[in-house]
Structure 1
Amino acid sequence: MLTPSLSPFVIEVHQLQGGPAHQDLFNDLHHGWPPGVNWIYGEEGCGKTTLLRLLAGDLSLFSGEIRRPSGGVFWVNLQTPEFDEATVQECLDKLSPLYPGWDKSLLESLTDELSMRAHLNKRLNMLSTGSRRKVGLLAALACGADVTLLDQPFVSLDTASIRIIKSFLNEASDHPSRAWLVADYEVPSDIPLASVLGL
């Protein structure tokens, strides 16, 4: 890992090579993401999720370097079976100690705005696809990490919830030191973006 230095980027990669299951989806990738909301877009299978996992350390690089901030990188995938038996509250309680900047008041507010309070004691395998995705979004938006990685955050959400997430990202767009990296198929026209990377 590169040592911290003066840089306009919150997180950056140099000569990155990697991919899942020995697939070389990235070869010699150089890129940096500044504060604010950054978008990573492309078709199915182009490597959007893989890149987020590499940035988070969830996948190992074949080669190259990643400069991560001291304030942490948030990434979680609650869609996997290992979380099926955990309740919403248990998931949030497990994640919150990992992030010193965790914003409890923001979490409380978002829990109500996204209509999740009635689901806090339900197991994840009892939730709809959209509600299960909201659990990860609650944690992501409240985590307080220097870098937050969001993979297709609008999938399976109702219109009201999409509007709330977009409102949050609009407010986050001018943050002076934190970065949100969002991966999706298309680039939005209603969110101010600090950078756009097409894969």
Structure 2
Amino acid sequence: MSTPSASLIRAQNLTHGPITHLTFTWPAGVSWVCGDEGKGKTTLLRLLAGDVQPDIGTVTLPSGGVFWVDLQSPTHDAITVQACWDDLRKQYPHWNDGVLSDLAEAMDMHTHREKQLHMLSAGSRRKVMVVAALASGAAVTLLDQPFAALDLRSIQIIQEFLSEAAEHPHRAWIVADYEPPNDLPLACVLNLDMRS
């Protein structure tokens, strides 16, 4: 577990569910949170986003916002892909329509824009979230298992984006997944298995 000095987001003594007394900082660039099932990867992202409140501890965030959305819930079923993106666009002042358009085209989502989310496969539904996340322009972007159920081409597109994002001096992307990749330059790795 590394604790870089130039942090964009900081957890101090964070405790909720499987996350206990976590103190950690994340710098600009791409960082990874890994661990087995039930170790708290999603819980940690939700804590960092303010989606759930910690039992104890604090999260210090930068100005510029944090992107987090979970589109797997049935509450989103009736919204169309385009309406979902339009709603999210309003929440993020640095939203980049060019990035959204390019990624939607590259990941073959342009033909699904008017479909409701319940009509999409698990992979396409995840693409809606990932495209929005990468277009958000937020200072901190939280991605929960962004590659799950995706086709190889879409995985490669996301990996290429993250490779370029790794060099960004003022924004952070925190990815939660089982294992960190070997071919992506990471700012830091938090292995929740090592905290047991």
Distance in 1 of aligned mates of 2:16 and 2:136:
27
- The residue number in structure 2 matching 1:4 is none
Distance in 2 of aligned mates of 1:188 and 1:57:
27
Show the 5 A alignment for 1:51-130.
Answer: 51-130=44-123
Contact map agreement 2:11 2:58 (CA 8 A) in 1: yes
Say whether 1:152 aligns with 2:150.
no
Identity %: 55
Say whether 1:184 aligns with 2:177.
yes
Distance in 1 of aligned mates of 2:188 and 2:20:
21
- The residue number in structure 2 matching 1:33 is 26
The amino acid of 2:55's aligned partner reads F
Distance in 1 of aligned mates of 2:184 and 2:97:
25
Shift, 1:190, TM fit: 1.1
Distance in 2 of aligned mates of 1:127 and 1:64:
38
Distance in 2 of aligned mates of 1:27 and 1:137:
28
Question: In structure 1, the residue corresponding to 2:84 is in which secondary structure?
Answer: helix
Distance in 2 of aligned mates of 1:27 and 1:167:
33
- The residue number in structure 1 matching 2:8 is 10
Shift, 1:27, TM fit: 2.0
TM-score (norm 2): 0.95
Distance in 1 of aligned mates of 2:150 and 2:20:
34
Distance in 2 of aligned mates of 1:130 and 1:26:
28
Question: In structure 2, the residue corresponding to 1:10 is in which secondary structure?
Answer: strand
Distance in 1 of aligned mates of 2:150 and 2:21:
35
Distance in 2 of aligned mates of 1:184 and 1:29:
18
Q: How big is the alpha-carbon RMSD for the aligned residues of Structure 1 and Structure 2?
A: 0.7
- The residue number in structure 2 matching 1:22 is none
The amino acid of 2:10's aligned partner reads E
Q: Figure out how many residues of one structure are paired with residues of the other and give that number.
A: 188
The amino acid of 1:11's aligned partner reads I
Distance in 2 of aligned mates of 1:28 and 1:132:
34
Unaligned 5+ residue runs, structure 2?
none
Shift, 1:28, TM fit: 1.5
> Which runs of structure 1 show a deviation greater than 2 angstroms over 4 or more consecutive aligned residues?
none
- The residue number in structure 1 matching 2:36 is 43
Shift, 1:57, TM fit: 0.5
Distance in 2 of aligned mates of 1:17 and 1:43:
18
Distance in 2 of aligned mates of 1:104 and 1:34:
26
Unaligned 5+ residue runs, structure 1?
1-6, 20-24
Distance in 2 of aligned mates of 1:70 and 1:15:
21
The amino acid of 1:167's aligned partner reads E
